Chain A
Amino acid sequence: METLLFLEKGIWLGFAAIGFAVLFNVPKRALGTIFVIGALGGLVKFFMIAQEIGIVLAAFCGASLIGVISVLAAHNRKAPPMIFAIPAVIPMIPGFFAYKAMVGIIELTAEKDSEVYTKLFFETVNNGLSALFVLLALSAGVAIPLLITRKQTIKRIQPDDNLEVEIE
């Protein structure tokens, strides 16, 4: 049952990725890949959170997986890697933390009682920092694999035989 619930999350992650892919007008040939890598990256994150590894590291690993697969997919599907990576990573964005941090800030401005204020301040800063660091981890996780492999693209400016096959 638990496994089933876990896999169900994968489907929702995939749909969320597809929604953003369509919003960004990605080529149709990329949609299937985006669904799969969006689901995979998100599941890695949820799995690591379930193993009680911190959410920031979990998000970083999920995003890195997406970045690496999107580089591989870019060669097969003939599209730049960022086209796969960006829609796939968006379902992992910590909307709930960001929302709580925002509401917390609004409440802080109206709070006068110092006891309540301390508790609220603690929660708000905690949520806000979580959101911030998860966002940073996601961006870094996606950007770094793309940066590492970009060297190869520059190398390929010298036309070689494989290239002609690759782009037809």
Chain B
Amino acid sequence: MEVSNKPNKYELGEMLLEIGSLLMVSGANTERIKVTISRIAGAFGCDSDLLITNHALMITLTYQHKNKVFTSVKWVPNMHLNFNLISDISIMSWQIVLEKWTVERINQELAVLNKKPLYPRYLVLLLVALAGASFCRLFGGGAIEVAVAFVASFCGLFVRQEAMKLKFNFYLSIFFASATASLVAGFYFYLNPTETYIHAFSTSVLFLIPGVPMINAFSDLIDGNTLNGITRGVNVLIMAFAIALGLIVSLLIYKF
């Protein structure tokens, strides 16, 4: 493939690492990162070799005729799920291949890409609380239990967002959220001990379940990215442990 304006060897590699790191943070699985990066590198006529771990990316780019080689490592920040970004980057990678974008153009587009949440914070809180209420209904809760699960999920997610803003440890934020949600849910049943608490109490923390890392762990394992799959799996276990710890705290406080 003939490339008219050959990019400087640093800017192409750094741009690819930036894209890889954005994908990793947003919750893409390893195979998608590999495919996307090699697709874009292919559009510039380069071979890319990637090493992907949960907290760092390493790339070696080999240019045509092996006249230039570029290697670099980039640190990946903590997970912050954003599926919109994954979708935008996926569409962009096809456009890069078809329309032969320059590196400057890609960098401009990356800067313009919407990295902020699409939905206002209170809409997210309300819909997640609704999801919590739906869970409670699905597991067989009555009207009051559904309402309790709604309030509990709302408070739990609010605390988690605040804890993340204050830059608490990721797992500690989950623990705070799970403890808050179950304490709020348990409080109503503490005052009304005759009613069944179990539905609302157990579903109030379900909004915290790490579904994305869990499914990514599995698909990484199936793809043969065993190390990444195991890392993600252990991550899921720690998150589940943090949720359980929060529940235990409220169980001990209310002595259910």
Chain A interface residues (CB < 8 Å from chain B): 9, 12-13, 15-28, 30, 42, 78-80, 82-83, 85-87, 89-91, 93, 95-96, 98-100, 102-103, 106, 135-136, 138-140, 142-144, 146-147, 150, 153-154, 157, 159, 163-164, 167
Contacts and interface: CB of A to CB of B under 8 A. Distances in A.
A137 to B, nearest CB: 10
Interface centre among B88, B90, B247, B248 (most CB of A within 10 A): B90
* Chain B interface extent, by class: 35 or more
Nearest to B139: A96
B97 A80 contact: no
A24 B28 CA distance: 12
Interface string B215-256: 101110011000000000000000010001001100100000
B247 A20 contact: no
B168 to A, nearest CB: 18
A36 to B, nearest CB: 15
A72 B183 CA distance: 42
Interface in B193-215: 198, 202-203, 206-207, 209, 211-212, 214-215
Contacts of B203: 95-96
A40 B239 CA distance: 28
Given A9-B138, A19-B130, A147-B222, A79 B82 contact: no
B86 A95 contact: no
Interface string B132-148: 11110111000000000
A43 B163 CA distance: 36
A85 B211 CA distance: 11
B222 to A, nearest CB: 6
A156 to B, nearest CB: 9
B215 A89 contact: yes
A91 B87 contact: no
Given A86-B212, A93-B206, A24 B81 contact: yes
A87 B124 CA distance: 14
Contacts of A12: 134-135, 137-138
Given A19-B134, A24-B27, A80-B32, A143 B206 contact: no
Contacts of B110: none
A89 B127 contact: no
Contact of A99 (B32, B91, B128, B247): B247
Nearest to A96: B139
Given A27-B118, A95-B203, 6 more contacts: A15-B131, A19-B131, A25-B83, A26-B83, A91-B135, A143-B222
B31 interface: yes
Nearest to B219: A143
Contacts of B248: 102, 106
B147 to A, nearest CB: 14
A123 B103 CA distance: 59
B183 to A, nearest CB: 16
B118 A28 contact: yes
B97 A157 contact: yes
Interface in B78-115: 81-88, 90-91, 94-95, 97-98
30 contacts: A9-B138, A12-B137, A12-B138, A16-B131, A19-B131, A19-B134, A20-B128, A20-B131, A23-B81, A24-B82, A25-B85, A27-B87, A30-B83, A78-B87, A82-B215, A83-B86, A91-B131, A93-B206, A95-B209, A99-B202, A99-B247, A102-B247, A136-B218, A138-B215, A139-B217, A147-B223, A154-B35, A157-B39, A157-B97, A167-B91
